[in-house]
Amino acid sequence: MKSIYAWSLASVFFAFLLGNPMNVNAQAPEVTIDLTATDVLSQGQTGTCWSFSTTSFLESEAHRITGELHDFSEMAAVRVIYPEKVERYVRYQGKHQFGPGGLSHDVTHAAAVYGLVPQSIYGGGQEAGAYNHNALDASLSALAKSMVDQSGNIAPESFDAVEAVLDAHLGGLPESFDYEGKSYSPSTFRDAMGIIPEAYVTVTSFAHHPFGQSFILEVPDNHAHGAFWNVPLDDLETIVEHAIAEGFTVAWDADVSNRGFSFKNGWAIMPEIAKSAEEWETLGQMPDEPQVNQAMRQAAFDSQENTDDHLMHIVGLAKDARGRSYFIIKNSWGQGNAFDGRQFVSMPYFRYHTIGIMLHENGLPKANRKAMGR
């Protein structure tokens, strides 16, 4: 993920009502599936879209499993993962990715080793929607580099300084808490929400590795060296469509640094077919987008036209007046567009620009689940 820092955006006049279908204006596609999710938030001036998107995903998962919708802390996963990043950077003697970015499996890892906590219990030291990690990121980077500079004489207490910086900026993580009349630890709260971290799978589609196997996805923010199951492109699209149809939302990692991704207009389309920005605003008049095949997608990744930019949350499906399908996503850039922070992602855009996805193993089609041994 490139360093994408999103300023908190003001809400539009009409607010999205939790649990109700998406607001749709005359130009929007018709929503066919709109799965339950929490309100769109802003990640503020942070590089933590990986936590915002995947925490939102786990909130929807908890609702699917328990029937209850809760607001989980995004910053709890950040607080768990950041010390691991510093340690990994130092162990690689400074020759490793270091920064605020990450991937969805970082959040499920944090849930496995620590647990989950409600947002009301752990806010991360700043007001929700107005997070600013510029000072935190600079301090951690300086500490990590100073430890590398001490190679051969790194004192154990150097890592204590990392914990102190994180406590000062984010606060210490709670070991126990009371919530809605019950007492929990982070792990018992995770279990009460029905979240089993090992049940979540990551999937991608790239031809430089064999299909039907796992490989370590070569993007910089895969600092934890997470493995992705590799499937043909048609299977990747089918997996997400099947999951949404069966009531499973999906965490989505994609390239968004291109003309076709317009948060303002609420679309994500293949830009080659739009003669002007105005066309993005009326999908019923949009020319047909190009057919995207495996070779096109691979070429874009190999040339680094497509890079690991931003993580979001796929929560539904829609169709436009001409019958073309779109995924509905929750972004983490606030609610400042016509769809309260949501966007419609065309299938060609998804096929071309997706880096990887995460979903519950039960959301996979049977053939894919069997192939993965799940």
The DSSP bridge pattern shows strands 182-184 and 325-330 to be: unpaired
* The token pair that represents 140 in the structure block: 């951690």
Which segments within the chain are labelled E, that is strand?
30-34, 177-179, 182-184, 200-204, 214-216, 227-230, 250-254, 261-262, 267-268, 310-319, 325-330, 342-346, 354-360
The one-letter amino acid at 55: T
In CATH terms, is domain 30-371 a member of 1.10.10.10? no
CA atoms within 13 A on the CB side of 42: 23
The one-letter amino acid at 49: C
User: Residue 55's closest CA among 130, 115, 139?
Assistant: 115
User: Residue 356's closest CA among 105, 95, 89, 63?
Assistant: 105
Residues listed for the chain: 374
From first to last of its 374 residues, what are the pLDDT tens digits of the chain? 433 333 222 222 222 322 333 443 436 789 999 999 999 999 999 999 999 999 999 999 999 999 999 999 999 999 999 999 999 999 999 999 999 999 999 999 999 999 999 999 999 999 888 999 999 999 999 999 999 999 888 888 889 999 999 999 999 999 999 999 999 999 999 999 999 999 999 999 999 999 999 999 999 999 999 999 999 999 999 999 999 999 999 999 999 998 889 898 888 988 666 555 566 556 566 667 889 999 999 999 999 999 999 999 999 999 988 888 999 999 999 999 989 999 999 999 999 999 999 999 999 999 999 999 99
